[in-house]
Amino acid sequence: MKKRQSGILLHITSLPSRYGIGDFGEGAYWFADLLQATGQSLWQILPLNPTLTVHGNSPYNSISAFAGNPLLISPDILLSEGYLREDDTRDMPAFSDNEVSYDKVSEYKVKLLMRAYYRVRDRLGDDEEFQAFKERNAYWLDDYALFVALKEHFEGRVWNEWPDDLKKRHPGALQRYRRVLKEKIQMECFFQYLFYRQWTALRRYCNERGIRLMGDIPIYVHYDSVDVWSHPEVFQLNGDRRPLFVAGVPPDYFSSTGQLWGNPLYNWDYLKETGYRWWIERIGHNLELFDLFRVDHFRGFVAYWQVRAGEKTAIKGHWVKAPARDFFSSLLNHFGDLPIIAEDLGVITPDVVEVMEHFGFPGMKILLFAFGEDNPAHPYLPHNYGENYIVYTGTHDNNTTVGWFRNETSREDRQRLFEYIGRVVTEEDVHWELIRLAMMSVARMAIFPMQDILGLDESARMNRPSTRRGNWKWRLRKELVSDSIRERLLRMTTIYNRRG
């Protein structure tokens, strides 16, 4: 992370594909070629973990911190490898090229994956690669596959509502249900095998072309997840294995009641006693997947906002310190290097800055936030930061640059922007001007959402925080990437010495 470079933020679900959702197939390799052709050396994606419609299809709200999302498996690759036949895809419904319809996609792709499984089921016992995958990943895969099978068996109920012997993981009950649900467990293991096989091939292709893949690790996990069920001691739970306290952030300028996320909080005393084993496994797993990764809500590793379970808002919470220095020192002692980007957005206190500087973790700067009333001192203005940062026009949680300019800026905001750039700009070129500001800054890394490269408006926004519907749907169509866009991005990348 010491050289100047730039890249694009585009989640896998947004890639072109005929199956209604982006996947690890031809569209992903096309995009990797696009990155190489335009001089980009970073591809940032969102978490790859399984998503559920009941959780708004958010990749930050998963049933597993380790498993991959089967919806991202490419049926075309399965066809080329003989797991599927052409007849298997003839009943494919019509899908939109513009957005993901998760219910429709899930129903169809799970059916395809099941066909692939039943075609090879009888040969899996002799498949050395599959058996080696299961053995290598048993530390998370065994519990994950059982959890998914149990969720289906108990019709989607939260694990805390399962029979008491299962809820509390009595060995006899676990063994009994592993026998009863053997077929479903094997199927889920097979899906994970396909996912990681295809992802590994895509990552290798990118790395061979000088493109590094940047992942994203949510700090917290969902309560109704295999992680909390299988490792209750890692979290602050009561005797009935329900959360004692939950996560959130305090009231601020944007919300008078704060944000109540509801995730269970970590039992840092237990984690420290065990040498942070669960986190070491999680980080190690992500190091196998990505070349570098962003850690979401980094400040929660230094101090976290603790709210008693049952509260309706985050108002009555309080800050609790976490053993940040000991934790990250332990990770460094184990791995030797940590290619971490710290998501340090929002109100960041001096103790968080001290930890980041001590370990040399790069922070983030967002240009969409930089043109408020506190100019010229705003910390997100390019002249106010140093090299060890990653600068964005915006992230997946922001409006697009065009949407921001059109709908979220005041006349004064625009005037400050014009004065900073040195000329008046319009909706037609504002995205390129912010890309230029990021490119020419001293920040070593610059990343742009694909929507900003294309100059798309608010209809292409990926996520609206604090809303549960209509998010994570946007999809990229190949024809939107014109030759002039390719040439302009390559030229700007070259001029500002970020070419991969």
Q: Give me the catalytic one of 188, 343, 344, 452.
A: 343
Q: Give me the catalytic one of 397, 413, 457, 458.
A: 397
Q: Token pair of 434, please?
A: 């912010």
Rounded to 10 deg, the angle between the 182-208 and 128-136 helix axes is: 90
227 in catalytic set = no
Give a three-class secondary structure readout of the chain: CCCCEEEEECCHHHCCCCCCCCCCCHHHHHHHHHHHHCCCCEEECCCCCCCCHHHCCCCCCCCCCCCCCHHHCCHHHHHHCCCCCHHHHCCCCCCCCCECCHHHHHHHHHHHHHHHHHHHHHHHHHCHHHHHHHHHCHHHHHHHHHHHHHHHHCCCCCHHHCCHHHHCCCHHHHHHHHHHCHHHHHHHHHHHHHHHHHHHHHHHHHHHCCCEEEEEECCCCCCCCHHHHHCHHHECECCCCCECEEEEECCCCCCCCCEEEEEECECHHHHHHCCCHHHHHHHHHHHHHCCEEEECCHHHHCEEEEEECCCCCCCCCEEEECCHHHHHHHHHHHHCCCCEEECCCCCCCHHHHHHHHHHCCCEEEEHHHCCCCCCCCCCCCHHHCCCCEEEECCCCCCCCHHHHHHHCCCHHHHHHHHHHHCCCCCCCCHHHHHHHHHHHCCCCEEEEEHHHHHCCCHHHCCCCCCCCCCCCCECCCHHHCCHHHHHHHHHHHHHCCCCC
343 in catalytic set = yes
CA distance linking residue 101 with residue 124, whole number of Å:
32
Taking phi over 0 as left and psi of -120 to 50 as alpha, with beta for the rest, 395 belongs to beta
Q: Token pair of 403, please?
A: 């949407």
240 in catalytic set = no
Q: Give me the catalytic one of 143, 224, 296, 433.
A: 296
CA distance linking residue 206 with residue 187, whole number of Å:
29
The 10 Å CB-count burial string (b at 16+, else e) for 168-203 is eeeeebbeebeeebeebbbbbbbbbbbbbbbbeebb
Q: Which amino acid is at 41?
A: S
CA distance linking residue 500 with residue 497, whole number of Å:
9
- Asked whether 446 and 438 are in contact (CB, 8 A), the reply is yes
Catalytic residues: 296, 343, 397
